């Protein structure tokens, strides 16, 4: 451990037919995979130079020769029955290693930047939790200083109520809410970005 702060990102292994299934219905599996690879590269680029320790959690198996340099990123495999359990296990692992502030971010946000993450770590100085709502009703970032298991017990992950369910479980905590960002799930989500122009023409 080089730092008291840890940033975690969850990734899906970039394989044809295994990523961005909702997007693939509109632009095809090959294009959906290409879009996801662009999003992964963007996420790695954002995280690489942050002043904190970094961990990437793989959906299926740990990849050795990929964009996530093992000299920079701790590598783990996700485990648990649903997304909530997998995230909780990642937080538990981080706290067991002695980290004092842990933030998790998704890997499908082209709007994610270092300023947002640095702000999230800063806000944890005087808040119990920090959360970044996504436009689709989920969230793109969750940060905490101590484990709050209840926030990971969501009835239906992937629905438009995830953020509201999560906030309701933090009602007694001091929570800082970041700006709302757009994550990429449908073809409409690609339209604001020049990088994805070729996929929607």
- Residue 157's pLDDT is 78
In this predicted structure, the answer to whether residue 201 has a pLDDT above a threshold of 80 is: no
- Residue 113's pLDDT is 96
- Cα gap 4→201, rounded to integer Å: 45
Domains of the chain: 5-194 (3.90.550.10)
In this predicted structure, the answer to whether residue 185 has a pLDDT above a threshold of 90 is: no
- Per-residue buried b or exposed e for 25-60, using 16+ beta carbons within 10 Å of the residue's own CB: eebebebbbbbbebbbebbbebbeebebbbbbbbee
Q: What is the 3-state secondary structure (H, E, C) of 136-186?
A: CCCEEEEEECCCCHHHHCCCCCCCCCHHHHHHHHCCCCCEEECCCECCCCC
For 98, list phi and psi in degrees, rounded to 5. 100, 10
- Residue 154's pLDDT is 87
In this predicted structure, the answer to whether residue 13 has a pLDDT above a threshold of 90 is: no
- Residue 79's pLDDT is 95
In this predicted structure, the answer to whether residue 178 has a pLDDT above a threshold of 80 is: yes
In this predicted structure, the answer to whether residue 1 has a pLDDT above a threshold of 80 is: no
- Residue 14's pLDDT is 87
Which segments within 2-128 are labelled E, that is strand? 5-11, 53-58, 73-77, 101-105
In this predicted structure, the answer to whether residue 72 has a pLDDT above a threshold of 80 is: yes
- Residue 125's pLDDT is 95
- Residue 94's pLDDT is 97
- Residue 17's pLDDT is 87
pLDDT digits (tens, 9 = 90+) for 99-157: 999 999 999 899 999 999 999 999 999 999 999 999 989 999 999 999 999 999 988 87
Tell me if residue 133 falls in helix, strand or coil.
strand
pLDDT digits (tens, 9 = 90+) for 93-109: 999 999 999 999 999 89
- Give the residue carrying structure tokens 């996530």: 68
- Residue 183's pLDDT is 86
């Amino acid at each position: 451990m080089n730092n008291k702060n840890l940033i975690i990102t969850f990734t899906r292994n970039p394989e044809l037919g295994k990523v961005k299934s909702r997007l693939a219905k509109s632009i095809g599996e090959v294009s959906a995979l290409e879009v996801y690879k662009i999003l992964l590269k963007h996420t790695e680029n954002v995280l690489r130079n942050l002043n904190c320790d970094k961990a990437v959690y793989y959906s299926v198996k740990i990849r050795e020769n990929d964009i996530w340099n093992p000299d920079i990123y701790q590598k783990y495999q996700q485990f648990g029955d649903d997304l909530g359990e997998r995230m909780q296990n990642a937080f538990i692992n981080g706290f067991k290693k002695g980290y004092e502030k842990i933030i998790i971010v998704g890997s499908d946000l082209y709007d994610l930047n270092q300023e947002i993450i640095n702000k999230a770590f800063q806000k944890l100085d005087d808040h119990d939790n920090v959360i970044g709502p996504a436009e689709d009703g989920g969230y793109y970032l969750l940060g905490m200083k101590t484990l709050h298991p209840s926030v990971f017990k969501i009835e239906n992950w992937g629905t438009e109520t995830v953020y509201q369910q999560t906030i309701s479980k933090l009602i007694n905590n001091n929570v800082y809410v970041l700006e709302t960002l757009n994550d990429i799930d449908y073809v409409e989500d690609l339209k604001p970005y020049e990088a994805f122009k070729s996929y929607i023409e």
